[in-house]
Structure 1
Amino acid sequence: MPPPAFGHAPLPGLPAHITVWEVGPRDGLQNESTVLPVAVKAELIERLADAGSTVIETTSFVHPAWVPQLADAEDLLRTIERRPGVRYPVMVPNQRGLDRARVLGVQDIAVFASVTESFAVRNLNRSLDESLAMFDPVVAAARADGIRVRGYLSMCWGDPWEGAVAPGQVVDVAIRLRDMGCTELSLGDTIGVATPGRVVAVLDALTAAGVEIADVAVHFHDTYGQALANTLTALQHGVVTVDSAAGGLGGCPFAGSATGNLATEDLVWQLDGLGVDTGLDLGRLVDTSVWLAGRLGRPSPSRVVQALSGGRT
């Protein structure tokens, strides 16, 4: 691939290997105007596994009235072939979502919390405290069944209604999610306003409060072009799990200023150049995003996909 041909050189403080948590099939497709058929979604997941993805966030059991793009969650989970060594987490908003997922043999779920009051009300139609109270029995029931639970924290660096978010707000929600049983915490820059110094401030506040950095993932959006810089900073401060979406898909349907996720291809290009192992095949990822762009009827926003696709997107 091109990165080895151009050489690579490490930087101090980086891990030798990271886990890329692929969110394209869920967080990516939920914000696309084109609703893809189950067969195309299943092929996307298969292609991502072929490219080396070991964690593929597959779908969400949110009510179809809220996210119609993912209304086929059950059909999709019945269609895909789950490979040994690959995790297929799904989002669940409540107990009913967990029940639906459990019937289909799901072993990884995620709950989606807000660190701000405004977004909790707009996204979940509940106050922050009410939303966490709703998640508590869901997490407990999942853990009792041996299901891993990820806790998403949205608006960790900024909220379109409240402005800048203090690190203490993130710490408060993170500890509450951890204490209810979440096995991993993903810090979301939902509207893409974080910058590296503010990333460090939140990570330092979490570790000072006793949160293990090994249990923290980062989830950056590229609204202001900062996702790669913020990710590199997080890795230099001990984070080893990064969320990204093939082709830079996605956003948040409940936060109008949120643009696409960090593109998996852009992340892999950078980490290949730094000698950090992701286990991912960049060429296969690019081919997948070119193929997907054709199904969505629009080009991929990923710079690396554009550079390596030879005009195919």
Structure 2
Amino acid sequence: MPSPTLVRITDVSPRDGLQNESRTVPTPDKAALVRAVAAANVDEIEVSSFVSAKWIPQLGDAAELFDILSREAAPLPLLSALVPNDKGMIAALDVNQRAGRALIGKVAVFAAASETFSKKNINASIAESLERFVPVIAAAHQHALPVRGYISCVIACPFEGPIAPAAVASLSRRLLDMGVDEIDLGDTIGAATPQTTRVLLDAVHAACPELQGGLSAQRLLTLHLHDTFGRAGACASEAMRLGVRSFDGAVGGLGGCPYASTPGHRAPGNISLHALRDAIASSGLTTQLQLKALDNAATLATSLTRE
């Protein structure tokens, strides 16, 4: 049984951190970033997304990137990928077939608690997006791959404003009933405060009791925070107080929702692993992150995204 004080960290730098970069990051450089993050001893790295290159050009090299990593001699943590539909799932399984093993050890599907955001971001209503997930979840479980279910805009939407916690709780329940193994709550535009984080988690825990219990829970609950307004660390601390023991972050704070940016000002990105590490320590909890390697990974990440 995992220690109740241990916090699990997923680094999303190569996928969520880089996907909105205007400058194309070469595939070998992305592989170097994955290696650097792995050296920092994170529990999982979300490497890329099998989405159409027409939608997100930066991630059009997902298969090539995984093929490079399949030849990596150094040990790697759990590697995961976002798969938006059955076509993406087939591409992910093809990677594993070429590698001769489950190189991609987890797949993720992506929903939104906002109808408007869902239609603008993935060109589908919430109901339509859930329909797309059915074959993905079935194929993943057929190949013994756990499935993460992202829910974006869990606090507020850039188009609709505040989102009702009950709506997020209901969508979490639906995803769990469909068979996802993990719920990942995304504060897409960084609108969360400790108070709204508490209200949200209370609603989700009430609707989905199997998410309670930290790393020993029946299903995993993860929080994905953006530091748009500098409150992500405080929100993480509040979530830890309420029992959450799994978080996403990015070295160097890479990423940031383009809908949260304004002309001439790019919104801050995901909570940095340094800030997350500090919040964990201040909460009296522990993580396996290695500080020196984390510094090196953050330096590399910054160099890859410097205009």
Q: Is the 8 A contact 1:15 1:235 kept in 2?
A: no
Partners in 2 of 1:69 and 1:294 — Cα distance? 16
Kindly report the root-mean-square deviation, in angstroms, between the aligned alpha carbons of the 2 structures: 1.8
Matches within 5 A, 1:252-267: 252-253=257-258, 256=261, 259-267=268-276
| Alpha-carbon distance, 1:295 to partner | 2.8
TM-score (norm 2): 0.88
Distance in 2, Cα, partners of 1:64 & 1:269: 36
Stretch deviating more after TM superposition (51-60 or 14-23): 14-23
- Report percent identity of matched pairs: 40
Q: Bigger shift: 283-292 or 255-264? A: 255-264
Aligned to 1:109, the other structure's residue is in SS state strand
Report which stretch shifted further, 284-293 or 147-156: 284-293
* Greater displacement, 255-264 / 38-47: 255-264
Select the residue among 70, 90, 93 that pairs with 1:102: 93
Could you tell me which residue of structure 2 aligns to residue 4 of structure 1?
none
C-alpha displacement at 1:200, in angstroms? 1.0
Shift of 1:141: 1.7
| Kept after mapping to 1: 8 A contact 2:41/2:288 | yes
Equivalents in 1 of 2:260, 2:66: separation in Å? 27
Deviation at 1:137? 1.9
For 2:89, give the aligned amino acid: L
Does residue 228 (structure 1) correspond to residue 226 (structure 2)? The answer is no
Q: Is residue 126 from structure 1 mapped to residue 121 from structure 2 by the alignment? A: no
Aligned to 2:244: 239
Equivalent residues of 2:227, 2:271 under 8 A apart? yes
Range moving further from structure 2, 146-155 or 33-42: 33-42
CA distance in 1, matches of 2:116, 2:67: 36
SS in 2 for 1:58: strand
- What is the CA distance between 1:249 and its match in structure 2? 0.2
Query: Which residue does the alignment assign to 1:278?
Result: 287
In 1, Cα distance between the equivalents of 2:278 and 2:205?
A: 29
Q: Distance in 2 between matches of 1:186 and 1:82?
A: 30
Q: State the distance in 2 between where 1:158 and 1:114 align.
A: 11
- Deviation sequence 1:234-256 (CA, Å, 0-9, x none): 01101110000010000234665
Provide the rounded CA distance (Å) in 2 between the counterparts of 1:156 and 1:60.
21
Picking from 156, 180, 186, the partner of 1:182 is 180
Note if 1:56 corresponds to 2:45. Answer: yes
Code of the residue aligned with 2:152 in structure 1: it is S
* 8 Å contact kept, 2:119–2:125: yes
Q: Deviations over 1:62-86 (max 9, x none)?
A: 1111111111101100001286571
State the partner residue of 1:153: 151
| Distance change in 2, residues 1:128/1:256 (3 Å) | farther
For these two proteins, the number of residue pairs brought into alignment is: 285
CA distance change for structure 1 residues 73 and 134 in 2, over 3 Å: closer, same or farther?
A: same
**Pairing 1:192–2:183 present:** no
TM-score (norm 1): 0.86
